[in-house]
Structure 1
Amino acid sequence: MMNKTVLKTKELLDLFLDCERLTLPEMVERLRMPKTSVYRMAQSLVVLGFLQKRGDYYELGLAFLTFGALVAERLDIRRAALPVMKRLKEETNEAVNLVIRDGDEALYIEKVETSEPVRVYTKVGRRAPLYAGACPRVLLAFMDKADRERYLEQVELVKIAKHTVTDKEALRRLLEEDRDRGYTVSYSELENYSAAVAVPIFNHEGAAVAGLSVAGPEQRFSPDDVARIVPRLKQAAMDISRELGFRGKG
């Protein structure tokens, strides 16, 4: 059953699809609701940033810009990435994952599965901590330094698989190494006997907005395998970054 308060709030916000700004009496008239109820909803939305008040008028708030930009960016990343991911899968014959940061977690938003019978299963929608696994960790490695340190100060490193990094100083050293060489490698950090190599994807502002990884069983990720995968992976990430407007050298 739909929550009535949420439905009424949506009805109020829907008014601004046709009207750039509205007074409280105008909202009350259109919604046919008690004035006190409309006022409380409007004030709550102002506090949350979904509405802003200028004099007697209410209009949409800046919070919608943030959410709208995120939705557009995430859709653009998936659209730009999928053809490149399919090509990369054919080149490596391993699963290819696309991950973005969602708060203090990594969120898997796209995947191209390998045709190999022995594989690592990762579904779209999976969440993982930023410190564990090559693809989540590449987001952490290329995060703004102040944000990264703030995250490291407050996060609790929990052992998820046999090689999950649980020492913060060791993790800091690993992140610096990852950033210097431009890619991350993991073995049994999120799942035992799994391995992955990941690189960042950059947007038009030069910010790392996603991670692209090739993943599979550990036995197929020897140092020679990694050396073969990395150039292809970096090229794929650069192709996607170019589609997002990135003009740097990587």
Structure 2
Amino acid sequence: MTYIDTVARALCLLKLLAISPLRVQEAAEKLGIHKSSASRLLSTMRDHNFVRLNSNGKYELGYAVFEMAHALSEGMDVRKIGRPFLEQLNKTSNETVHLAVLDGIEIVYLDKIDTSRPIRMYSRIGKRAHVYCTGVGKALLAYLPDEKIDQILAQIKMKSFTARTIVDREHMMNEIREIRVNGIAWDRGEHEDDIYCMAAPVFDFTNKVIASISISATITYTPEEELAKYAGLLSQTAEAFSRAMGYVGDWPPPVRL
């Protein structure tokens, strides 16, 4: 076994252990190597804290993996990584695009690129907005566990900003279920009368939703049916952004209930 082979098998083993703990024989079978070779590989990885033995006599991921994951998470700047994706989305659509994150029961705009058209929008970098009446907010909300959604909505007194604002909890939950099916959230003039927005979630390497991106337009220039034509592009961009953040699951992502 060459050094390259050993490294490749060690990396493969880490991926296998991320799915489920394994005994030495099980690891050997999955890697297609002799039990003694698997034992030596696991022993070396254990010496460096990449794996550890649990109480059932199976190997599982060790603390070194979590230390590396934490370091990666700390070093990943979602705004910096997301900027090229926003720029391409803005260039292709010539509409205003946003990047937002959830902070408590509100969303915060981390980045924004304006359309070249003379449009004024409520949003600006650093500004907060309600989670229930914005596209970016609903995209974030939809991919939280149900228990977390209940906690957030319980803290919010939903009020109307326009005649279209959703203020009924059952209506909101129906919309969340729809978002989970197609991966796209809509704000149809719910926060600002003339502003329509569609948004998609962004996930990280832990497969958790961490942000959302959106395309916003005024119906004066862009009717809803025209804006809807960018839904595929928005979804593809959100997926590419998520992959850049380390997400490895299916798209649209399954929901953690």
Q: TM-score, normalised on structure 1?
A: 0.68
Name the counterpart of 1:115. 116
Q: Given that residues 95 and 111 in structure 1 are in contact (C-alpha distance below 8 angstroms), is that contact kept between their aligned partners in structure 2?
A: yes
Name the counterpart of 1:236. 237
Q: Given that residues 100 and 108 in structure 2 are in contact (C-alpha distance below 8 angstroms), is that contact kept between their aligned partners in structure 1?
A: yes
Once the two structures are TM-superposed, the CA of residue 121 in structure 1 deviates from its matched residue by: 4.7
Q: Mapping of 1:95-134 within 5 angstroms?
A: 95-134=96-135
Is it true that 1:201 corresponds to 2:205 in the alignment? no
Once the two structures are TM-superposed, the CA of residue 223 in structure 1 deviates from its matched residue by: 4.4
Q: 1:175 to 1:220 in 2, by over 3 A?
A: farther
What is the rounded CA distance, in whole Å, between the counterparts of 1:168 and 1:132 in structure 2? 12
Q: Deviations over 1:49-70 (max 9, x none)?
A: xxxxxxxxxxxxxxxx9xx989
What is the rounded CA distance, in whole Å, between the counterparts of 1:220 and 1:120 in structure 2? 14
Name the counterpart of 2:89. 88
What is the rounded CA distance, in whole Å, between the counterparts of 1:244 and 1:95 in structure 2? 23
Name the counterpart of 2:228. 227
Name the counterpart of 2:190. 189
Runs of 4+ in 1 over 4 A off after TM superposition: 68-71
CA RMSD of aligned residues (A): 2.2
What is the rounded CA distance, in whole Å, between the counterparts of 1:168 and 1:182 in structure 2? 20
Q: For structure 1, which runs of at least 5 residues remain unmatched after alignment?
A: 1-64
Once the two structures are TM-superposed, the CA of residue 178 in structure 1 deviates from its matched residue by: 1.3
Q: Deviations over 1:4-48 (max 9, x none)?
A: xxxxxxxxxxxxxxxxxxxxxxxxxxxxxxxxxxxxxxxxxxxxx
Once the two structures are TM-superposed, the CA of residue 224 in structure 1 deviates from its matched residue by: 2.9
Name the counterpart of 1:147. 148
What is the rounded CA distance, in whole Å, between the counterparts of 2:202 and 2:109 in structure 1? 14
Q: Given that residues 77 and 240 in structure 1 are in contact (C-alpha distance below 8 angstroms), is that contact kept between their aligned partners in structure 2?
A: no
Is it true that 1:169 corresponds to 2:153 in the alignment? no
Q: Given that residues 120 and 216 in structure 1 are in contact (C-alpha distance below 8 angstroms), is that contact kept between their aligned partners in structure 2?
A: no
Q: TM-score, normalised on structure 2?
A: 0.66
Name the counterpart of 2:254. none
What is the rounded CA distance, in whole Å, between the counterparts of 2:149 and 2:221 in structure 1? 31
Q: 1:69 to 1:158 in 2, by over 3 A?
A: farther
Q: 1:217 to 1:147 in 2, by over 3 A?
A: same
Q: Given that residues 112 and 125 in structure 2 are in contact (C-alpha distance below 8 angstroms), is that contact kept between their aligned partners in structure 1?
A: yes
Once the two structures are TM-superposed, the CA of residue 219 in structure 1 deviates from its matched residue by: 3.6
Aligned residues: 183
Q: Given that residues 111 and 123 in structure 1 are in contact (C-alpha distance below 8 angstroms), is that contact kept between their aligned partners in structure 2?
A: yes
What is the rounded CA distance, in whole Å, between the counterparts of 1:227 and 1:214 in structure 2? 10
Is it true that 1:216 corresponds to 2:205 in the alignment? no
Q: State, as a whole percentage, how many aligned pairs show the same letter.
A: 27
Q: Deviations over 1:132-183 (max 9, x none)?
A: 1111111111111110122223321111233111111111111111111111
Q: 1:184 to 1:109 in 2, by over 3 A?
A: same
Give secondary structure in 2 for the equivalent of 1:156: coil
What is the rounded CA distance, in whole Å, between the counterparts of 1:127 and 1:76 in structure 2? 19
What is the rounded CA distance, in whole Å, between the counterparts of 2:221 and 2:229 in structure 1? 11
Which deviates the most, 159-168 or 105-114?
A: 159-168
Q: 1:173 to 1:242 in 2, by over 3 A?
A: same
What is the rounded CA distance, in whole Å, between the counterparts of 2:124 and 2:73 in structure 1? 20
Name the counterpart of 1:72. 74
What is the rounded CA distance, in whole Å, between the counterparts of 1:194 and 1:176 in structure 2? 23
